[in-house]
Amino acid sequence: MNHHALPHTAHASLTTMPTAPASTAEMLERLDALLPGVEERAARLDGEGGLPVEEVAALGAAGLLVAPLPAALGGLGWGSEPGGTKPLMRALRRIGRASLPLGRLFEGHVNALRLVAAYGTPEQVEEAAADARAGRLFGVWAAEVPGRGLVLEEDMRRLSGGKIWCSGAGLVERALVPAQAPDGVRMLLLPLPRGTGRADLSVWTASGMRASATGDMDFSGMELSPGALIGPPGAYFAQPGFSGGAWRFLAVHLGGIEAVVEALRHHLTATGRGGDPHQQARLGQALAGAEAARLWVGEAARMAEGPEAGASGDGEAAARVVAYVDLARGAVERAGLAAMELAQRSIGLGAFLRPAPVERIARDLATYLRQPGPDRALTSAAQHALAAAAPVGDLWGR
């Protein structure tokens, strides 16, 4: 038996599931049934640099691509309504544990539908809902090269420029992108039929997240369809949603952290090294870090999606939410880095050799943890604390 291989269900597959409306409990059961197959295929996709086409199709067949829609549109409100926060966190965490690249794609899908639901017209929201029901994957792409970013030209009808590091390029069929327009930064929802040739996946040479279908997108010359503009100028950067929404990718990170710690636990059990007190101490530290990350993400989600975050005109409340989620970013990053170091020290050279699952998971997690502006997030939270009058224990208004 390979001592580094995580146990999985034999012959696990991504089965086709019904798309009928489901309760939250049933939807989570459908997801759990898919995940052994997702985990089993993760190593092969990483080795091939392949696209998770089957995985995305399975999420659609199970109804998971519809779950982020508001209940009135047949969804479960995952990411679009407060009642969907806890199950969404569980879903993101569980998908991330099985496959960080797939977790990244699902998180982007949730984010895009959330923004359309929040800022779109009824007609735009209904059209997006129909696309989700048809199994189309949505994504949010914002990164760009300075001076070569996406621009909506003066006629407000044609685009120039593009985006970089677009997760799901070639798989995403509905891309929500911010673009510089004559009246400010505007959100656009762009249809992207597969095979248009606008995606360049060859530029993605990262060591991890190889199966995230990441690449650059060139939108030059694309003409906007009616209804492509979503919301007013500046809506994309509205707080606390813009920064507070980071809790969702933190939930995916959390799944990756748990996968690393699980790999360490399995290694110690399978090799009979669990009785060593030094190994026990390292596992204990890793378990503590994973649990701390879970608590941080749970509280960040509660604050970001709670009534305080949506309070109209309450800038102080919004700033408090953003500061807390910024702190959570730092805490989860440290937990992830610590988990990888502890696992690699305990397992030794085997943690760096394929096909050990921990080797791939650590590469994916190390890459995914590189979110933009980590120093800015931490100093922003510190500035909030310095300006506040409340004691440290009461800064977050519990």
Q: At what angle do helices 100-119 and 122-133 cross, to 10 degrees?
A: 150
Per-residue pLDDT for 17 more than 50?
Answer: no
Give the lowest-confidence range in 163-172, 231-240, 257-266, 304-313: 304-313
**Position of tokens 């939250």?**
24
Q: Are 265 and 373 spatial neighbours (Cβ–Cβ below 8 Å)?
A: no
Nearest CA to 113 out of 304, 300, 248, 18 is that of 248
At residue 351, the pLDDT reads 94
- Check residues 364 and 10 and name the one with the higher pLDDT: 364
- Give the β-pairing of 159-160 and 199-200: unpaired
Question: At 350, is the pLDDT very low, low, confident or very high (cuts 50, 70, 90)?
Answer: very high
Between the alpha carbon of residue 209 and those of residues 88, 96, 101, 324, the distances in Å are 22, 12, 5, 27
Q: Does the pTM exceed 0.85?
A: yes
At residue 313, the pLDDT reads 52
> What residues does 295 pair with on adjacent strands?
none
At residue 226, the pLDDT reads 85
- Report the pLDDT averaged over residues 111-139: 96
Q: Are 9 and 36 spatial neighbours (Cβ–Cβ below 8 Å)?
A: yes
CA 142: distance to chain centroid?
14
Per-residue pLDDT for 240 more than 50?
Answer: yes
Helix (H, G, I), strand (E, B), or coil: what is residue 151?
A: strand
Average of per-residue pLDDT values in the chain: 91
Within 13 Å and on the Cβ side, how many CA atoms surround 386?
A: 6
Tokens linked to 333: 């990053």
Delineate the domains of the chain, giving CATH numbers in brackets: 24-137 (1.10.540.10), 151-235 (2.40.110.10), 238-387 (1.20.140.10)
The single-letter code of the amino acid at 395 is L
